[in-house]
Structure 1
Amino acid sequence: MRRLPPLRSLEAFVRIAKLGSAKAAASELALSPPALSRRIKALEDFMGKPVFDRKAQAMVLNADGQALLLAIEPALEAMADAIDDLSGQGGEYRLRLGVLPLFGTQRLIPRLPELRKLFPKLHIDVDTSAHAENLLGDVVDAAIIIADQVDPRLYSVRLDRNNVYAITSHDLATSAKLGTPADLKNQTVLVHSDMPLIFDAWRNAVGQPKLKPAAIDHIDSGPLMLEAAANGLGVAIMHGSHLTDAKDDRLTRLFDVEVESPYSYWFVCRPRALKQRAVRIFHDWLVKSEI
């Protein structure tokens, strides 16, 4: 058998290539930056050529790196599939699922007992990393993401359509006398970091395209956005279902206007992942359940 480079080096290479960041890859692999660099050096020493161009703090795939990624990624996925099949021989199936925290707490976890009753041998490992679509085939088998559009190379199912609400605390709504959208000019607006288009869509739809609030604060967590709004730290521009599902008496919706969101929740995976029993079981249940 021909000699191969260390599997750990290949894993580190693929993580950096997929995540686009050595720092993010080191975090995913629970490695220090020097340890990650050693793994990449071992791969490059084995190949006798660099696979990344080093630019300041960034590592960018060069032509040889692109060719290597295209060549080994299918083989690594096939290896992962084989291990999954073997590990399921005893009747237990495991799904590695990427889920955003707010969807997980509000919509998925409360319904999982239903799935457990139907398929008691199915076990789910949950990863709440952002941009889980970039981890498909590596860290996770499938993911539930929120996006305005999905990479056409992925298999995807839209899980909902939503309206955008302006959400804040009862106390702030009363004390600041927030009666019309124009009144937000003196308020802090809270926007999710992964949904940058949502505030523009909302203010255009309510007839205030030039509305400039006192500040716009970005938060990368839906639960934290709701908590910030409940504590009067600003007005959250987010999906109405998040308010409804929160069932938080501290929160209220401002302004009786319907604004369609440019974002939806999607189930995504690589097309070949649907051949995995755990992915197929979860996919079919999720779509049928209309969570």
Structure 2
Amino acid sequence: MADFRKLPNLAALRAFEAAARHDSFSRAAEEIHVTPGAISHQIRALEEELGLPLFTRNGKRIAITDAGRRFAAAIRNALTEIATAAETLQEQGGRQRLVVSSPPSFASRWLAPRLWKFIDHYPDIEVILQSSSHLNDLARDGIDVGVRFGLGNYPGLKTELIMEDFYYPVASPHYRQGRLPSSPQQLRDCVLLRMDGLQESWLPWFKLAGLDLPDPAGGLVTEDSSLTLRAAADGAGVALTRHAIASQEIAAGELVRLFDIAWKSERAYYFVCHAETLGKSQVGYFRNWLLEEIALFKSNQRWPGP
């Protein structure tokens, strides 16, 4: 049996593993919430204790040695086993935690209004919903599940397509005193609201509708689809929106879908997580619930696609 009195300092081992994974002292410092100097000091002390270098240093540039790489893999496996054992004990004690990350617009307008159903069904699971437009480092930030709107290219993660989406124009029923455009051609005379970024361009929908119009310029530009929809509901103009994001306002009568032309987005919603996280019971429950909720949503809506 190993002599546990000879174990290196746990904080130093964690600092080294993070630095090896990121190939950076500064990023390891961000993860552990200490200074890069503290990371460097802990790794120096660990190298002195082990009697060999774990990194080569050239100014501010570092490179892990072969011995360091093998040691980092062993530490990572050991820390993973410890974390898994702790989670298992927590689950046996009836305490389960599920951290979900989702884009802000999808989180606030689609996911959050439905989450009470999941919580109602699994009252022993504490759900933490985080909103972010970026794909976080799930393991580093303690996130179990990510729902992302993108192209599905998420290296190192288990990725599952869960829902496509469609763009179409919407406006308040009171826009221009209720004189809404009756044909796509009449959009030439309307204020067209837009978001910042090529991925929210009007051009693909214009092309599908047979309109030879440039992308709108000037006027209000927002960085969040929720703000664009709010402006449209307030009568500021016509917004190009995704079906999943606008369905709540359309059902409430705050927005009206214009025309019967919907452009299928090149991006879609994906369920993403690490392979080891997929084995957690709460993640499995959430995935199954989410797929059922999406199926219900599509059956109860005038779904634009097949």
Q: Same fold (TM over 0.5)?
A: yes
Number of the residue aligned with 1:88: 91
1:209-267 Cα distance to aligned partner (Å, 9 max, x none): 76231148351x33223223334555433212222223454433344312111122221
Letter of the structure 2 residue corresponding to residue 260 of structure 1: K
Number of the residue aligned with 2:290: 286
Number of the residue aligned with 1:263: 267
Q: Which secondary structure does the structure 1 equivalent of 2:266 belong to?
A: coil
> Please, which moves more after superposition, 167-176 or 35-44?
167-176
Distance 1:53 1:223 in 2: 46
Residue from 116, 119, 122 that aligns with 1:119: 122
Number of the residue aligned with 2:41: 42
Q: Which secondary structure does the structure 2 equivalent of 1:261 belong to?
A: strand
Query: Gaps (5+ residues) in structure 1?
Result: 55-60
Point out the structure with max Rg over C-alpha: 2
User: Aligned-pair distance for 1:190?
Assistant: 2.0
Distance 2:20 2:227 in 1: 32
Letter of the structure 1 residue corresponding to residue 109 of structure 2: Q
User: Aligned-pair distance for 1:173?
Assistant: 5.7
Q: Which secondary structure does the structure 2 equivalent of 1:145 belong to?
A: strand
Within the alignment, does 1:159 sit opposite 2:162 as a pair?
yes
Aligned ranges 1:135-146 → 2 under 5 Å: 135-136=138-139, 138-146=141-149
User: Aligned-pair distance for 1:154?
Assistant: 2.0
Number of the residue aligned with 1:57: none
Relative to 1, partners in 2 of residues 1:174 and 1:126: Cα closer, same or farther, differing over 3 Å? same
Distance 1:257 1:205 in 2: 8
User: Aligned-pair distance for 1:129?
Assistant: 2.5
Aligned ranges 1:87-106 → 2 under 5 Å: 87-106=90-109
Q: Is the 8 A contact 1:173 1:254 kept in 2?
A: no
Distance 2:285 2:233 in 1: 37
User: Aligned-pair distance for 1:185?
Assistant: 8.8
Residue from 196, 199, 207 that aligns with 1:197: 199
Q: Which secondary structure does the structure 2 equivalent of 1:125 belong to?
A: strand
Within the alignment, does 1:147 sit opposite 2:150 as a pair?
yes
Aligned ranges 1:11-50 → 2 under 5 Å: 13=19, 17=22, 26=30, 35-46=34-45, 49=55
Query: Gaps (5+ residues) in structure 2?
Result: 48-52, 298-306
Number of the residue aligned with 2:279: 275
Within the alignment, does 1:225 sit opposite 2:228 as a pair?
yes
Distance 1:288 1:53 in 2: 54
Q: Is the 8 A contact 1:201 1:261 kept in 2?
A: no
User: Aligned-pair distance for 1:124?
Assistant: 1.1
Number of the residue aligned with 1:213: 216
Letter of the structure 2 residue corresponding to residue 6 of structure 1: A
Residue from 5, 11, 23 that aligns with 1:6: 11
Within the alignment, does 1:64 sit opposite 2:64 as a pair?
yes
1:23-62 Cα distance to aligned partner (Å, 9 max, x none): 9x85x87x6xxx54344433554456478996xxxxxx85
Distance 1:212 1:255 in 2: 19
Q: Which secondary structure does the structure 1 equivalent of 2:110 belong to?
A: helix
User: Aligned-pair distance for 1:67?
Assistant: 5.0
Relative to 1, partners in 2 of residues 1:284 and 1:250: Cα closer, same or farther, differing over 3 Å? closer
Distance 1:43 1:171 in 2: 64
Distance 2:189 2:17 in 1: 49
Residue from 123, 127, 131 that aligns with 1:128: 131
Q: Which secondary structure does the structure 1 equivalent of 2:87 belong to?
A: helix
Distance 1:280 1:218 in 2: 36
- How large is the RMSD of aligned CA atoms in angstroms? 4.2
Q: Which secondary structure does the structure 2 equivalent of 1:161 belong to?
A: strand
1:169-219 Cα distance to aligned partner (Å, 9 max, x none): 4455669975536845984542366xx434253334334476231148351
Relative to 1, partners in 2 of residues 1:111 and 1:176: Cα closer, same or farther, differing over 3 Å? closer
Distance 2:193 2:70 in 1: 45
Number of the residue aligned with 2:302: none
Letter of the structure 2 residue corresponding to residue 256 of structure 1: D
Relative to 1, partners in 2 of residues 1:160 and 1:189: Cα closer, same or farther, differing over 3 Å? same
Equivalent pairs counted in the alignment come to 275
